[in-house]
């Protein structure tokens, strides 16, 4: 699960394991939190390396193609340009750095 950094609306991201422990984001879709829980989107953990597939459409609201994970463990869309970001979940402001190594859907939204 992720949240649009501009509109603060939730969306899901499908990650497919393309190679062992290499996950590619290839689809994003608008979803309400209540439906995410009902569908079990909150019960997945994946670890490894993460890439954005060339077919990844980006955020369904603002079309940003990048992502960042806040220190609060939640995922936001990212425009790929600004380096000082504000988390749409917790409001923390910080400089981007590092890479995402694991996503836990239960914590990510």
Question: How many domains does the structure of the chain reveal?
Answer: 1
Range of the domain at 34: 2-108
Nearest 5°: phi and psi at 14?
-95, 125
Tens of pLDDT along 62-97? 999 999 999 999 999 999 999 999 999 999 999 999
How large a percentage of the chain has pLDDT more than 70? 85
Whether 47 has a pLDDT exceeding 70, the answer reads: yes
Tens of pLDDT along 20-29? 999 999 999 9
Distance CA 16, CA 68 (A): 18
- Cβ density class 38-65: b for 16+ within 10 Å, e for less: eeebbeeeeeeebebeeebebbbbeebe
């Amino acid at each position: 699960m992720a949240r649009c950094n501009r509109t603060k609306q939730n969306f899901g991201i499908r990650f497919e394991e393309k190679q062992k422990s290499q996950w590619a984001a290839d689809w994003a879709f608008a979803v309400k939190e209540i439906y995410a829980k009902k569908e079990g989107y909150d019960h997945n953990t994946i670890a490894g390396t993460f890439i954005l597939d060339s077919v990844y459409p980006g955020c369904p609201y603002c079309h940003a193609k990048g992502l960042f994970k806040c220190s609060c463990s939640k995922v936001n869309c990212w425009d790929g340009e600004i380096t000082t970001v504000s988390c749409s979940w917790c409001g923390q402001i910080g400089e981007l750095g590092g890479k995402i190594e694991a996503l836990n859907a239960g914590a990510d939204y």
